[in-house]
Structure 1
Amino acid sequence: MGGLDKLFFALLLTSAGSCQAAQLNTQSDAPTNTSLSVCPAQDISFFIQRFSSDETVQRSYTTVQPVEFPVMPLVQERKDNALVLQLEDVTAATARVNLAKADTDYLVSYYFKMDDCWRLVRIENQSL
């Protein structure tokens, strides 16, 4: 798809309420601050649903360097390993998501900050 076609497609999908599809078709691996960027969700709970289930969204909205992707295990891996996501310490500008496994010392905290969209800014592995 050419640049104008992508722009038209993104605008069409955005106006139709399909921001998620537009996000996947208009974003490069690096986040941008242009008006063409379409945040997957402004609400942190909806954003985390998208972020935790789509490596492309993780690549677009992660500022932590260097990291391996996916930075957060995707749905099937979490299910296979009995890992549970829990949203914590939510404010208008920050949030923490804990990834834990019951009855173990496994705990990884993901810290998000809101600018034009939520972005992963820090990861802390607190597992023993």
Structure 2
Amino acid sequence: MRKIRFAMTAILIALAGAVPAASAAVCPSQNFPAFLDTFMNDVATQRAFTARPLRSIVIDAMAEPEPKPVTRMIAVPVFPVMPNARKQADAGLRRSVSNQAEGEVEVTLAGRDSDYQMRYTFRKADCWQLYRIEDDSL
């Protein structure tokens, strides 16, 4: 019986390591503007290139004596994490991109006639990865 369990365990370990290379996501682009275009408009790309856990910072408007940021780590983000270009346009959002530090870029979506403001921060390793979302809306 022990030999059978050992053999089954060895088979399961071997199968776990035998994931085909095709299942690994391919970086859409090393160039951030091209990467962002694909990331915004493709939920599969968002799933593949979003950190887990994802750092989420929101403003607690009910905090006393004044609103304050609250940070939490989201193990399983809800996708899409960023609206696509069409939804951004339909909502009247302005998009701006700024370099933060070496290998780090921040994308801000802001409402023209509202207090809506979301910041998405990406960092570069082998590919770009979203690792932080900040909701500064009140």
Q: Any unmatched runs of 5+ in structure 2?
A: 1-19, 55-74
1:53 deviates by 0.8
SS of the counterpart of 1:69? coil
Match of 1:108 in 2: 118
| Of 46, 68, 81, the match for 2:91 | 81
CA distance in 1, matches of 2:34, 2:117: 22
1:90 deviates by 4.7
1:44 aligns with 2:54: no
SS of the counterpart of 2:46? helix
Q: CA-to-partner distance for each residue in 1:24-82, whole Å, 9 max, x for gaps?
A: xx44xxxx5xxxx4210101111111111111110000012332100001122212211
In the superposition, the TM-score normalised over structure 2's length comes to: 0.63
For 2:89, give the aligned amino acid: K
Q: Percent identity, aligned pairs only?
A: 35
Q: Which segments of structure 1 move beyond 4 Å, counting only runs of 4 or more? A: none
Q: CA-to-partner distance for each residue in 1:74-122, whole Å, 9 max, x for gaps?
A: 1222122112221112554100000111132111000001010000000
Higher-Rg structure is 2
For 1:96, give the aligned amino acid: E
CA distance in 1, matches of 2:118, 2:128: 18
Query: What is the RMSD of the two structures over their aligned residues, measured on CA atoms?
Result: 1.9
Q: Which stretch has the larger CA shift, 56-65 or 71-80?
A: 71-80
CA distance in 2, matches of 1:75, 1:97: 13
Residues paired across the two proteins, number: 97
- Identify, as 1 or 2, the structure richer in strand: 2
Q: Any unmatched runs of 5+ in structure 1?
A: 1-5, 8-25
CA distance in 1, matches of 2:38, 2:29: 8
CA distance in 2, matches of 1:90, 1:41: 19
